[in-house]
Structure 1
Amino acid sequence: MIATIAFAAGMTLGGLVGWNPPVAATEVTVSGSEKVIFDSDVSGCDNHHLPDSPARAFRNAQGKMVMFAPNFQNRAFVGYGFNSLKPDCDSRFMAAGKASPDLLDDRTWLQAIYTNDGQNVYALGSASFMPYRHDMPCKDRTKRTDCWINGLVTLKSTNGGKTFDYLGSPPHHAPFPPPKPYRDDRKRAPSYVTVTNIISWQNYLYAIVWRRADNWEESRNCLVRAPANDPSRWDVWNGTEFEEAASLTDAGWSVRQTECARVGPVGVSSIRGLVRDEASNTFITVYLHRIRKKDQPDVSGFFYSTSSDLKNWSAPKLLYAQPLRRDADEGEPFVAYPSIIDDDSMDRLYGTVDDQASLVFVRLMPKPYKDRWRVSRQLVRVPITIKED
């Protein structure tokens, strides 16, 4: 048996195939004031130490909480809970910065973590290639992200997450490579972009990934799983059953082109966090969203949905109203990258919650700097209460 792990697959923009009315009556509310875990201007290791992904945590073999909310330098925070977390300035992993889109070895963000012993740690990373970084052509480019292509790659650590290496040599480290080859005349490339944290449930590992299409209508969130005792195979939910998406061989990941079904409420883009409430056995997702109502102001911020089976989800419910990027005027702060973490969870992956947990997110704060804007960042948590409605 190959002791390995990969993470996540297929997400969707838009509605849910087989979407039903709310199926899990769980209420999540903010129950306290914000606390800053990390401020890049105060305790950043350097000017590049900027939280740029949802927070992910695991408990290592020494019982310490190791949390990532990384940019491509993949630094961590270490402590025994939120109140004692300290930034570690060492980079846990950095991609090679190669100017080859087919290799997916330019920049990588650790976005999902799995371990069953705290020593051997596996991660799924979001691996991006942006041609502007390498002075490569992109037809009709107007912004840096044009012609950006993305896949999900696997990594492994044998020292408790202190350092990671690819699981397989590029490009065979990717169980979820881009669905179509890179082209410099396609500004929006189909891609696997992001992945939630991994949760363990009924002998499987589950995650939700965002599968971006070249249009909004076909983009979607997708549910994936792997056997908990043999995570060398990942399956995707196709709307009827789970079918194989990728398997690990001696040469690396062997990938099948499979189409996943949409999961999640209608109109929601990438789901960022996933936990299970132990008391009710209800799953909770969190994401950025905006509700528009006729003749009323828009409501934007962090929303959540609930489910009893990971396939059928409730409609979006407001958790914490906050300005998103499109809401903020020049120079005004905005938020991104939400997750839910219960720092006293008994689960080594922090994939379960009880009635008290925290919404963790990033606040981006533009500040004038010479003739441009410099954006500092805070990693923030706010207490939440979870109860059966």
Structure 2
Amino acid sequence: MTINPYHGLGDFHFWRKAMTDPAPGQIDTVRRSALIEPHHKVATLGSCFAQQIARHIMASGLQHYDLEPAPPGMPAELAGAHGYGIFSARYGNVYTVRQALQLFDRAFGTFRPQEAVWAHDGRYVDAFRPAIQPGGWAHPDDVLAGADQHLACVRQLFCSFDWLVFTLGMTEAWRSRLDGAVYPLAPGVSGGSFDATRHEFVNFSAGQVSADLNELVTKIASVNPQGRILLTVSPVPIIATYEKRHVWVASTVTKARLRVAADEAEHAHPQVMYFPSYEVITSPAAGSRYYADDLRQVTEAGIKHVMRLFSRHFMQAGPPAATASNIEQDLKRAQLHSDVVCEEELIAASLENAQPDGKA
């Protein structure tokens, strides 16, 4: 019999055995994992989808590392509106790798942006987390003082986590022409005012994202050599593009660049691992089950599939049994997790609130 290199490979190597034959909710895309112990401090950072993993960590008894908790007695709903308990620090959504890299540099005092405070409705907001304080602050000095306090927490976070779950979300961003500072939202969406002489659009290439991620991982290792990083790519399409092309094409390019960067980082750094939640949600086996009617938000069924895999491969107890009946029940419910905090959605909201002539 003729022998070729594919003989003897496991089922996961082959499309029919790995994708066609299993029930959609039982497809397992994870091939590399490590155990997260109950005492490990698990930090979260990134785009909106990272919040789903943070919630699962908290609900599963693992230690979600929170360095900037809500003040004692603050109601949960109010705390969430002020950015507490959503991620491991009160930084809001960190959409691009460049933004995360600059967050590290700001926390360690090697980068001080020139435009860090934006005016907004007679008050002031933090340009790097503009939605974190409903109503803003009364004075620019209050914004800067709050930022210093916040960055001290971020510095401690980078130095002391055991695991960092970092969800990569976007490559499009707006940055300062003055010093290259990258913002989570365009000036004018939720504070500030766009000025073409001071601000510019950028769409980071795959090479730039890879270089930024490599630099970030290296810098984190310099202050926390034992820390491990679990990368994911958000399966949520971008809500808008500034590129002159269809938003779905722009979103596909964005996710491809992020996925390449994550793959290169995993191969370059032994402490980095990739968790394929993006592949689970966008799988052709899922059909339309894992996206809501808006074709963007991930349904409960999709989230539960991802979290079953996370539990199976990274947690000691493993997931609850994924029987055919409870998978089908999840698919029928398929309801949207609408309380996820996603600052990107302010882009659409700002347009809906505009006058017919386009002016706010």
TM-score, with structure 2 as normaliser: 0.32
Q: Which has the higher helix share?
A: 2
Q: Which has the higher strand share?
A: 1
TM-score, with structure 1 as normaliser: 0.30
Q: Which has the higher contact order (CA 8 A, sep 6+)?
A: 1
- Larger CA Rg, structure 1 vs 2: 2
